[in-house]
Structure 1
């Protein structure tokens, strides 16, 4: 048997921060505060007092060159060299010019974590500040010391009795982590949460993020068992967008991630650089966060309400909501908001309806939302909620109360709380008003019941949870099988772009753009090109029938050129030209218009096409653009020249599969039009999905492809036709989501049977075959692989195993055509998960029982060794049970060093792949 322990999730990439060192920030056993004094305005003194007040149990040391004996009762030392021991965490509150020197000394003394609260290093307009930041970064680099800040407010971890911040109040223990970039918003959140009696698992702001950045913190919190949800407040992405998206994708698989994103960056300027063809940066961030599985909130109020929901809601059973109130006005507000947010109003059962009729007025309409009437008593509220929470069609109940003499707010709240505590379903409350509602809300806060001020806020908070579950379902949807094809055509496409670059062009000609679409099997019409009016007339005569003529110039060779002046789209186009005289007249007008605006060397002749409007054709705009932060994007929406295509601009980050492409289509007005007018809705949607996937392939294959626009793309009963297109080129771009590593595919033959197979990276489409593979394993193989007996994996588990982030882990499989029937089957799999600093990669491998002796173990392990070596990983490690002699024999054969781990009762296997080049790498290998 060739099974060993499963690798645990981790992160890879030499520029990412290892979560191992983050423990020194969040769980330090000793802390030294530099710059602490007892002056009222001393930041270091405030931090030290907060640490003392929070009950921190570790060792505290103050450092100040002024020679104080003590600061707030804590012994003070003149310098780092005077400390009796080196701290786990150094907190620096010293003057800006001294920070780099302190970092350098800390690194030389093997201190691995420092937090800089010193201000004045983050003013982006200041050359002085920039030089200080760079000096700090350079001081830390040789030693591998991790830096949090500068200009952060510090961090608070109530579970560790740690308040290492200058916050004005402490926080209580909770299950939600807050990570922000703005210190002021952070202090406001702390103040609000304290008033609402809401706690946190962790609370910190990052400031400038010189080293420890948002992705690193997200990775740490994703693994923290005390953190159930993560709230992110961000102004911009500092560093790699791919790292950010990757971290959020990984975290959101297990925990709710909510994001408040503003458009103002730290120096107060508005972020204005937009991707061509996109009119709003928010759309791009929405697309990125949705792709990563996060839920975005739009205002600080929504963020506060989200915290209320996350801290107090029970596990979600579903998204069907029942609404109950003592009046139809508030019910209508909540219902309208729910429908606008695309929520689901539950259909109550006949049994529940009958039971409610016994306690409600005779005029009740028998439907949800439930109107209890203005004379409703607290007891009627409670009984109605009790009945609704027992209805199998109801997943959650929102109770809205407007104060009356019959039902005082506090009395009603107390009765509702009694019911809410006894049901596994979520009961959300809304106490309208202020004078009498405040105390009712306070009672709910004390009881841990979610409570809000308005019906709209209540519904928004509920829908944030619904959106999260919908995102998770979409992320884990099994993609339909789809195979890349036409490798020779893709090679010719690469050559086409290289030839254009060699000629000094940053665009493709119209004919080249059409050829590019043809190479990716995107249908284009019969098209002719002419240099002058005579040539256009001759082409029209040859084509016959109605034609369209377009004048080409230096601007409309580029995609999305119309964004700044939409009215010019018609200037260069003549449609529905039936006679030769019409063609000559229209082309003459086009030539005159172009000559008014462009020099002769800026014009490029004419395009002539037969009119392909077709009966009931739908015009679509689809393409590729490049965002300055997130890189390549896929665009899709209603198109044509007579409308504003930006009004239906839907965006998704590539690469795409069928499931993602279908989501993109369904979010557009195009889908509504198809649903209402097409006789073959699924066929039409499938055609669009295939085209979107081919565009995605194009983005992956051609990193120099900057923008591509097809407008219009015609869809009718004959299929798709790309009528007009334009392509621009640029420097090679990096996708925000790592694409499938097709270059690692390898054709192989099994050693004993000679059976043909392919050795490749796993992909989401492999889920059905992976389930069959697992079910084929014997109980002994499963025990050796997982170290315990386990049942059949769920869809969520299989999705996590097959829909991997190739930046974070790698899984190679041997896949072969089935011996009987169609399709492929998985014969063996190996996984390798590398830590953030690219020091160690932990492998796991399992081979199907009936495939033993076919050489799959050597094949998969050698592929992993070669892959990790090429990535610069220093060491490959694994462990297996002492009884698994087959795995141990394979490891020895490949050159692993074998040793028995008495503490874990396992056999460790280690292989050095690359030699360390830095002192910190050597230190990591030794610890």
Structure 2
């Protein structure tokens, strides 16, 4: 047996022991036993208590040694000091799986962290699939298991949920019971000492009882494992995750809560995008997405039809649609003709389809049947304003009837409060996504269409970048041999050349005379830059002169630059000056770079350069490696893309050249793990070409 093969014992055990079972109501050891009984567990449930003969009518055993060998699942609710000895005893009894509810481990640091490391050692050495510690427990409705101290059981459904926060688990369960939402599995991961989110995704991917997976995370424990498993799962079923720690304050709170070390939020966004995970930004979105994905078919296109009994809400829905990645569908001429035949003469058959404020339920029904059959319509949005003549409940029933016979997703927005409540209940019970607000419904439809595109996309094709790794490795090795943690421009030029990256004509010169001669050869005007392995920010020491138009100007600038750099940085070794060709006129200034995220690897960045990057933060991100399509998407995502595509009669810049730079940088990041950060700043681009005008590479210590 392996640890992974023992995970099913968590959800479908035949024999369960509660270590630390109690006969006192209110204690966790009592709640777990009571919840198992209330769930209707069909197997053998054994309370372990050294002083009681029975608990809740069940005979107890006094010690773990008295448990049967090969026990499926043990739930540990002992004081923290007793958990490791209990796990050692369970290992001797060849237990397959365990849930450690007890807190006081990694999340408190110090001795607690040491105890958790010991738990991990025991479980890994004995293939025990452990959830926790510091968790609420888990529920498996199909297995009639409620090995938790939650208040009540979960309803049966097709949503599987895992959470790093036990408190959030209780809130989600309470919400779900109020909304009549059911679950197949419900897992509180706690500190994720052994079983983490990637293991949970893997175990749920082929679970026939689960159609949608939702999760709350404070961090990803094993980035490479997650990046491997998540896309395999999301190709089969949607995975919706909300992640906290997106701000500095949130990251600090997450660390103190479960010992998580929150990573860069941009890296998480990029990781979710690359693996097909749908990210929810808040709890309301998580609930909305979970219901929509679990009850509706995926839209097979972006076309959204709006059926409304009021012009204003219809216009608002069209506006919200246009701001998303969806489209207001153009109905077919045949559809328009059929609508005209059943609607009043003054109704609008152009999308939004306004069927007028006096519309009875039957008018909604006929309209929906016609519109849902239109091949240009992929999503149906039904709006209702509670006019005096509106038949709210009957309209809800009409929506339900048509939706049941359609392979397209339906979303319903009944506006108002008191009058629409019974209609709301009917729609919710029928599994039709409902909201009194438009925006959440559009967001759900957009997320579902995005997931459809993910599941139907061709496998990623990574370009083969022509490169001379040996030449680049030699430069990096020479820098590391001197103890350098940065490769600055005059050294990094060779690395860029090895990857075919476009650089300006450059010459390293050691005297004013050499600089003047090099400038004459390159052609005026030129740029002069200080060359020193210790000076990465050249402008800080006045180490850059631009627009030098003659040999005399270059020679004078060389003397001035080197003297000033030596005066301001006496610790720096001055190698001389770089002479570079000036960038052509009309260039846009960009920044392209990467930072190596500790969990997910190289995170590529693209955006406007210069002062704009600090002020506007108009940047897009992707995790390496990137395909050409991903590089193209990075460029198109920044808000100022129109400046690159050509604004007010300007020629568009060479977007292909920018793609080439992103792809080459991505490959460099993958080839050299010792490069932890890279800045190509600025990258200058015009309609003809792009040039990496300056570069800095940071190395690991």
TM-score over 0.5 (shorter chain)? yes
Match of 1:248 among 222, 230, 235: 230
Which residue, out of 598, 619, 640, partners 1:649?
619
Q: Which residue of 2 aligns with 1:119?
A: 103
1:152 Cα deviation after fit: 1.4
Match among 643, 662, 666 for residue 632 of structure 2:
662
Cα RMSD, aligned residues only = 3.1
Find the aligned partners of 1:252 and 1:244 in 2 and give their Cα distance.
12
Task: Give CA-to-partner distance per residue, 1:220-241, whole Å, 9 cap, x none.
Answer: 0012122122112101112x21
Residue 673 of structure 2 corresponds to: 703
Shift of 1:430: 1.7
Q: Residue 183 of structure 1: CA displacement?
A: 1.0
Distance 2:295 2:637 in 1: 32
Query: 2:176 aligned with 1:206, yes or no?
Result: no
CA distance in 2, matches of 1:224, 1:272: 28
Alignment of 1:823-834 (within 5 A): none
CA–CA distance in structure 2, aligned partners of residues 267 and 644 of structure 1: 28
Is the aligned partner of 1:528 residue 2:512? Answer: no
Q: How does 1:838-849 map to 2 (within 5 A)?
A: none
Do residues 629 (structure 1) and 612 (structure 2) align? no
Provide, for residues 590-632 of structure 1, a one-character-per-residue CA deviation record: whole Å limited to 9, x for no partner.
Answer: 6687578544527665333121224x43433222321233222
**TM-score, normalised with respect to structure 2:** 0.91
The gaps in structure 1 that reach 5 residues or longer are 1-13, 276-280, 562-567, 732-927
Is 2:287 aligned against 1:316? no
Secondary structure at the aligned position of 1:452 is classed as: coil
Work out whether residues 308 and 451 of structure 1, in 8 Å CA contact, stay in contact via their aligned partners in 2.
no
Matched, 1:611 2:582: yes
3-state SS in 1 of match to 2:219 = coil
In structure 2, the gaps of 5 or more residues are none
Q: Report the Cα distance in structure 1 between the residues aligned to 2:572 and 2:258, rounded to whole angstroms.
A: 38
1:93 Cα deviation from its structure 2 partner: 0.7
Provide closer, same or farther for how the CA distance between residues 305 and 409 of structure 1 changes in structure 2, counting only shifts above 3 A: same
Question: Which residue does 1:822 correspond to in 2?
Answer: none
Q: Distance in 1 between matches of 2:567 and 2:238?
A: 57
Shift of 1:62: 0.3
Distance change (3 Å), C-alpha of 1:53 and 1:500: same
What pairs up with 1:374-413 in 2 under 5 angstroms? 374-413=357-396
Note if 1:471 corresponds to 2:441. no
CA–CA distance in structure 1, aligned partners of residues 57 and 454 of structure 2: 51
Which residue of 1 is the match for residue 175 of structure 2?
192
Shift of 1:285: 1.2
- The Cα shift of 1:102 comes to 0.6
Q: Structure 1 residues 254, 18: CA separation in 2 closer, same or farther (over 3 Å shift)?
A: farther
Which residue does 2:495 correspond to in 1?
516
SS of the residue corresponding to residue 602 of structure 2 reads strand
Pair 1:347–1:165, CA change in 2 (3 A): same
Deviates more, 1:599-608 or 1:349-358: 599-608
- TM-score when normalising by structure 1: 0.70
Per-residue CA deviations over 1:487-521 (Å, capped at 9, x if unaligned) read xx311211221121111111224222011111112
Aligned partner (choices 233, 237, 258) of residue 240 of structure 2: 258
Matches within 5 A, 1:253-292: 253-263=235-245, 264-265=250-251, 266-268=254-256, 281-292=264-275
| Residues 352, 387 of structure 1: 8 Å contact kept | yes
Distance 2:533 2:492 in 1: 15
**Alignment partner of 2:11 out of 26, 36, 39:** 26
Count of matched residue pairs: 694
What corresponds to 1:94 in structure 2? Answer: 78
CA contact (8 A) 1:508 1:726 kept: yes
Matched residues in 1 for 2:261 and 2:190: separation? 23
Residue 130 in 1 paired to residue 107 in 2? no
Check conservation: 1:553, 1:598, Cα contact below 8 A: no
Deviation digits for residues 45-92 of structure 1 (CA, Å, limit 9, x no counterpart): 111111111111111000012x21111111111111223555210000
The equivalent residue for 1:726 is 696
Deviation for aligned residue 1:271 = 11
CA distance in 2 between partners of 1:170 and 1:712 (Å): 58
Paired with 1:381 and 1:177, the residues of 2 have a C-alpha distance of 35
Give the drift of 1:149: 0.4
5 Å matches for 1:863-874? none
Q: Please point out which of 712, 731, 735 is paired with 2:682.
A: 712
In structure 2, the partner of 1:69 is 53
Instruction: Give the Cα separation in 1 of the matches to 2:635 and 2:492.
Output: 24
Higher relative contact order (CA 8 A, sep 6+): 1
3-state SS in 2 of match to 1:451: coil
Cα displacement string for residues 367-389 of structure 1 (whole angstroms, at most 9, x for unaligned residues): 21222333332232222222211
> For residues 216 and 555 of structure 1, do their structure 2 counterparts lie closer, same or farther at Cα, with a shift above 3 Å needed?
same
Which residue does 2:94 correspond to in 1?
110
CA drift of 1:421 comes to 2.3
Give the Cα separation in 2 of the matches to 1:654 and 1:187.
Answer: 37
Q: Which residue is 2:334 aligned to?
A: 351
Aligned to 1:810: none
| Map of 2:152 onto structure 1 | 169
The aligned residue for residue 332 of structure 1 is 315
Asked whether the equivalents of residues 18 and 77 of structure 2 are also in contact (C-alpha less than 8 Å), the reply is yes
For the pair 1:492 / 2:471, whether they are aligned, the reply is: yes
Give the conservation status (yes or no) of the 8 Å contact 2:602–2:670.
no
Q: Offset of 1:394 from its aligned partner?
A: 0.6
Following the alignment from structure 2 to structure 1, what is the Cα–Cα distance between the partners of residues 260 and 174?
32
String of CA shifts for 1:450-482, please: whole Å, max 9, x gaps. Answer: 2123100111111111121223344x25638x4
Tell me, in whole angstroms, the C-alpha distance in 2 between the residues paired with 1:446 and 1:638: 49
CA deviation vs aligned residue, 1:727-775 (integer Å, no higher than 9, x gap) = 12116xxxxxxxxxxxxxxxxxxxxxxxxxxxxxxxxxxxxxxxxxxxx
Paired residue secondary structure (2:377):
coil
The secondary structure found in structure 1 opposite 2:167 is helix
Q: 1:103 to 1:287 in 2, by over 3 A?
A: same
**Shift of residue 187, structure 1, vs aligned partner:** 1.2
Shift of 1:215: 0.9
Comparing 453-462 with 695-704, greater Cα deviation is found at: 695-704
